[in-house]
A and B are shown apart, each in its own frame.
Chain A
Amino acid sequence: MPPVLRVPRLLLLAAFVGAIAFARLSHAVEADAIAGSDFFEARIRPVLVEHCYKCHSMSAGKTEGGLALDTRPAMRAGGSSGPAVVPSDEDRSLILAAIRHDGLEMPPDRKLPPEVIADFEKWIALGAPDPREGALIPTKPTVDYAAARRHWAFQPVRPIAIPPAPLKRPALDPVDRFIQAKLSAAGFEQAAPAEKRALLRRTTFLLTGLPPTPQEVVEFITDASPQAFERVVDRLLASSAFGERWGRRWLDTARYAETNGKSMNLVWPHAWRYRDWVVAAVNRDLPYDEFLREQLAGDLLSAADDADRAAKITATGLLALGAKSYEEGGAREKFLLEVADDQVDVVTRGMLGLTVACARCHDHKFDPVPQADYYALAGIFLSSETLCGPGPKHAGYKGYDAPFQPVGAEAERLHGPYEAHDQNLRAKNTELGKARSSRYRHVKNKTSLGLDRKKTTDEAKLAEIDAKTKVEEASIAEWDAKIAVLVDEIKKLEASYPPAPAYAMAMREGAAPADYTLRYRGDWKRAGPLVPRGMPSLFHSSAAGAIAKQESGRLQLAAWVADPQNPLTARVAVNRIWAGLFGRGIVATLDNFGTLGAEPTHPELLDYLAAEFVRDGWSVKRLIRRLVLTETFRTGLAERSPTAAADPENKLFGRRSYERLDAEALRDAMLAVSGTLESSPPVGSRVLQAKVSSANALETPPPQEIERPVRSLYLTTARSAVPEMLTLFDFPDPALPASGRQRRTLATQALYLMNAPHVVEWSGRLAERALREAPGDDAARIGWLHEVCFARPATDAELRRLAEFLRAEKPKDSVARVAAWTIVCQTLLASAEFRYLP
């Protein structure tokens, strides 16, 4: 059993153990060793220094191939190919192979002279005496941890003095005071408030991902009361579209997908339950701390009833949805380490803005996260079971199967029979596979007998061959019969499934929770000392509590992440919310609050908001409501304001900048204005309509997904097969936790809006709707279209231009009329104004 250690002591101890080992060696072969040490100093060390250290030393900070040659322990431990030096063992000392250019070639530029190689051979034969003390892993931390701990984001959120309100406006929200104080210190003023229509369009899209309807516009502009805008905000927050928009944001972070991705893109039929859980949680304003707790350890929390338990278990789907490395014949442990790596990454980056996964192979190079911290967290996940469903259905992938988690009141009753049936079917399928290969063996035998037959004319041999061929033919027929029976049985089984319970991808406690060993340089085969499960050492907190032997530690992890004292959780959350409303974060790097992340533009405001958020019960809706009601949110574009030139990135938030709709909002808006969007969300997912391989990997996603009249978040989200339209408009790759959205303008986007058949189809629907619903003449219709698409009336120039266009088209009949209006409608959907929020 390896020693149980924490890192700083571990390093000392490694050096200490090395020293003892050396002392013993010295004692045993004292005379030789001393002579040997001299030999090392005279003949070996200079060569290492001159030819090797540049690429293979901790002192030079470069250990290519994971190999360091500047301490004895490191040299003996070796790199990714194995130990560089094994005393007295020429064959296993890879350094000899390397300098002889035998398989490995070192130094790469030229071979060392033969006499130097002979020295190394002699030295290894001598037992490779080597007086250089030192550790296996760098003794000098690459980071000044003491300094790194002083990094702003690792400091507790402290009470902040709010800038005083201006004399005449005592009720000004502290958020505005922070923003305006900084603006005025820079000599600027906040831009004038946005016009009401622009404000409504902005707010409706940002809160729900959908455009305001003309009625909503009229209601708002005719409501002269001071509470008019508050009423709008409350209506939007209460709409189910709010959860769809803000839930989708979290799904970016959660790298949500319904297929595995990577080289074995398995289809996951139950992933959508997690999606629906997120949307529902956001809509009922589940407090954010609870939102995180349930995703980390919902299965371990107490539940009010069956439905609540099902929801909480479903929440842990976050941890099961990572892209997994199914490798034919791969080692199970390696697979599980990759799963845990994804879990460490999604939790630390997504919830804490901390890149702990960087410490998998070595201490974090920039943040105070030693390698042991990574394995302390990984141990928690490795002590849990990831219920991500069966692995690839091929024989070469044994050992990857996991169950799905039955959830809901009926789960227990239905699961047994269903599972038994499923097992039976799988067994039959395996049997069928075996039968087919048995048959094939005989077919091959027969073929080779046929070849043999051509080579001989000998009667006796021919007779022998024919007899053998008969035997093979009989076997083939026998297997054919067995196969037919099996195929028939499988068909029947497939057609007679008992009712299935609801299933979810989820987590549960592992059968034997245990601490895990650190892996040198992240190599799963090179176990180091055991690291107790626990939270990153940077944060001293008692919130987590001790992890009992029989627990995974997820419950403690959840408590620690969701602890109000955790300096990162609330800051990261409010920053994401801010970015969702203001186009950029107070910290621009949403998922990196470490020393390499961006500095906050308004650190006091960030801390103020984090504290307020916690104080207000981690309510996301109330925070959004408050932010949307600030003057800062309500300012206009003021493109010509002095801040536009002085602060082009709008870091001071002195005005609004155009914000391009994200892919889903753009598509959903086209569906909405054309009257195509279904009002209620679809049930479940269409992922099972995808075409899959015999291994159950995705071949082609369900057809015509993009044309479905549902909001984009409900489209099948398959890794490596995201619909082109979404990718074009910067929907993130769902294989990785996204750190935000890009907002590009591309010629291929233009091609899509110009030519995609469904864009033309939606334009036609919008045209028909205008002809049907808009009252009066062409001018009235043009006006109505601008209200629907842009929440404003048409300008005189627009009225003139479009009317002239329609006249020139001279439609002869009603079909031609729709066609002419379709052309016009497509220009509205394809316009810059449609895709940019004011």
Chain B
Amino acid sequence: MNDFLTPSETANRLSRRAWLRRTSAGFGSLAFAALAAEQKARGTATTAPSATHHRARAKRVVFLYMRGGPCQMETFDYKPRLQADSGKPSPNNKTMKLLGSQWKFAQHGASGQWISELFSQTARHADELCVLKAVTTDHTNHPEASDQLHTGSFQFERPSLGAWVVYGLGSENENLPGFVSFKPPVQWGGARYYGCAFLPAANQGLPVGTMTEGMNKARLANTAHPTLSRDAQHRQLDLLAAANREFAARDGDADGAIDGVLKSYEAAFRMQTDLPQVLDVEKTETAATLQRYGIGGGPTDDFGRQCLTARRLLEAGVRFVELTHDNWDHHAGVAANMPLRSRQVDQPIAALLDDLKRRGLLEDTLVVWGGEFGRTPDDPTNDGRGHNKDGFTMWLAGGGVRGGLSYGLTDEHGFRAVEGPVHMHDLHATILHLLGLNHERLTYRYGGRDFRLTDVHGRVVREILA
């Protein structure tokens, strides 16, 4: 009943007053990380990590959502034939011309993974990337395809991938939500991307910021009293706690309902101390770190902040973090847009992978990169590309996937998958599998039926497992 994120054991060991004293001392991110580690070690989280169906290869996920559908043949799917045929009539539609990549590809790493110069920094991690080159989905419209990417279904109201993951695995840190989504879009039903539909509401993602505002402005709601100082709020919460305890003593609390309320305030007080600190990267990270992520104004600032904050949240035990980067829908202006968009994300992604690796987190953190679909190799305008659901690229890295692997093929121009197709349902099944969850057994009963993320579909792509 009281499934809020508070450990009874912590409360027993440390009195509430001790907590308040400690938190009021204003410990920084070091203390924060230490606290997270301490709680993990003691296993005190109440939404204790649940038992998995099989051995998990990853414990957490960071999803780099490239909204709009980034082009595969200008990024990770090298198409020499398309480049050679650029300008020739499209075999698909005689009124269109084929459009080759305007950027050079080179092989990287021991694996010789082909990556375009647009992602020259991410390319440092070529041997970590498991590039899925023949991903497919069912719809060529943004709203539907984005729904399918995030919830498995574009027809029905379904829980998001992140919500399923938190539902399946529980939370690792009681002070933080299990699922955080940065800058989700408001349009196209963006709330569904972190929503929980019929799953218990505790599994819902916590949105931080909205797509149209900068990450530097993203704040969490309700983490500071509008008028009272911290000290004054302490005194107020003392009054409140006294009243709640008296109420329980007077009228009884056999079900623990009132105890639950007391603890929710303790947890809230910690959360309001901790979460803003996690988000406030400037105060707590070194200048060198900020620089590596490209934070400090400039094109990389926004996504750099998202990546660095994501790393901090993952470290602190958040299960699922989604990052949003918009404007990959290049129906026109490929020449100008691709370098711009790629530049905004390339350095931050490379820095995130660096950090995860350096801190030993990449081993059990699954990184997912991609959009709701890819783009066509032919050009309906002069410098633009259409939507492509029949074969596009996403990549995974870390937690249990084979790095340096290129899996699946599209045809020589990049219209459609011809080998090793990975349908969106398969991708979902595989992500759950890596987390130790069997997509056919992770079910929730609602309205008389057991629902799954993958509905009746999904195949674990075993070929890419490490």
Instruction: State the A residues within 8 Å of B (CB).
Output: 64-66, 103, 108, 261-265, 323, 325, 327-329, 338, 345, 349, 355, 357-358, 366-367, 444, 447-448, 451, 591-592, 594, 596-597, 637, 639-640, 644-645, 648, 657-658, 660, 693, 697, 699-700, 720-721, 724, 727, 730, 733, 735-737, 739, 742-752, 754-757, 760, 795, 797-798, 801-802, 805, 819, 823-824, 826-828, 830-833, 835-836, 838
Contacts and interface: CB of A to CB of B under 8 A. Distances in A.
A414 to B, nearest CB: 34
Given A648-B255, A827-B239, A832-B261, 15 more contacts: A66-B456, A262-B157, A262-B189, A345-B447, A349-B448, A700-B186, A733-B195, A736-B198, A744-B200, A745-B2, A748-B206, A750-B269, A805-B239, A823-B236, A836-B258
A735 B157 contact: yes
B288 interface: no
A64 to B, nearest CB: 7
Given A349-B447, A751-B272, A824-B239, A836 B257 contact: yes
Contacts of A658: 253, 255, 257-258
Contact of B236 (A827, A832, A838): A827
Contacts of A700: 186
Contact of A746 (B139, B248, B264): B264
Contact of A831 (B174, B247, B260, B271): B247
A724 B221 contact: yes
29 contacts: A64-B456, A64-B457, A265-B189, A349-B447, A447-B382, A592-B448, A596-B445, A639-B253, A640-B252, A660-B257, A721-B186, A733-B197, A735-B157, A736-B447, A744-B3, A745-B3, A748-B177, A749-B264, A751-B223, A751-B268, A756-B222, A801-B243, A805-B235, A823-B239, A824-B239, A827-B239, A827-B243, A831-B243, A833-B247
Contacts of B206: 748
Contacts of B217: none
A335 B227 CA distance: 51
Nearest to B192: A720
Interface stretch (B81-89, B141-149, B353-361): B141-149
Contact of A263 (B3, B5, B143, B250): B143
A755 B4 contact: no
Nearest to A761: B226
Nearest to B242: A801
A338 B262 CA distance: 45
A640 B248 CA distance: 12
A830 B253 CA distance: 18
B384 to A, nearest CB: 11
A596 B232 CA distance: 52
Contact of A754 (B144, B186, B200, B237): B237
Residue among B195, B227, B447, B448 with most chain A CB within 10 A = B448
Contacts of B198: 733, 736
A-B pairs with lowest CB-CB distance, top 5: A639-B252, A355-B448, A263-B143, A750-B268, A747-B267
Contacts of B227: 760, 819
Contact of A639 (B139, B157, B221, B251): B251
Contacts of B106: none
A2 B318 CA distance: 56
B237 to A, nearest CB: 7
B372 to A, nearest CB: 11
Contact of A592 (B143, B147, B243, B447): B447
A720 to B, nearest CB: 4
B197 A750 contact: no
Contacts of A448: 382
Nearest to A735: B157
B103 interface: no
B317 to A, nearest CB: 15
A500 to B, nearest CB: 28
Contacts of B242: 801
A832 B447 contact: no
B447 A760 contact: no
A697 B192 CA distance: 15
Given A263-B188, A327-B139, A736-B157, A802 B4 contact: no
B141 A328 contact: yes
A357 B456 CA distance: 16
A328 to B, nearest CB: 5
A110 to B, nearest CB: 11
A323 B457 CA distance: 24
Interface in B32-70: none
Nearest to A356: B448
B459 A832 contact: no
Nearest to B145: A263
Contacts of A591: 447
A751 B381 CA distance: 51
A357 B200 contact: no
B188 A735 contact: no
B201 A730 contact: yes
Interface string B120-136: 00000000000000000
Interface in B198-231: 198, 200-202, 204, 206, 221-228
A745 B237 contact: no
Contacts of A742: 200-201
A720 B191 contact: yes
Given A263-B147, A327-B141, A745-B264, A795 B246 contact: yes
A828 B246 CA distance: 13
B244 interface: yes
Interface string B163-195: 000000000001101000000001111111001
Nearest to B253: A639
Given A444-B382, A760-B225, A747 B254 contact: no
B72 interface: no
B240 interface: yes
A733 B146 CA distance: 20
A832 B249 CA distance: 12
B239 A261 contact: no
B226 A760 contact: yes
A832 B244 contact: yes
B369 interface: no
A103 B221 CA distance: 49
B204 to A, nearest CB: 8
Contacts of A645: 254
A831 B240 contact: yes
Contacts of B190: 720
A644 B239 contact: no
Contacts of A327: 139, 141, 144, 154
Contacts of A358: 447-449
A744 B203 CA distance: 12
Contacts of A596: 445, 448
B102 interface: no
Nearest to A727: B201
A755 B157 contact: no
A482 B251 CA distance: 76
B6 interface: yes
B187 A699 contact: yes
Given A596-B448, A736-B197, A832 B188 contact: no
A836 B255 CA distance: 12
Contacts of B233: 754
Interface string B1-27: 111111000000000000000000000
A264 B459 CA distance: 30
A697 B187 contact: yes
A534 to B, nearest CB: 21
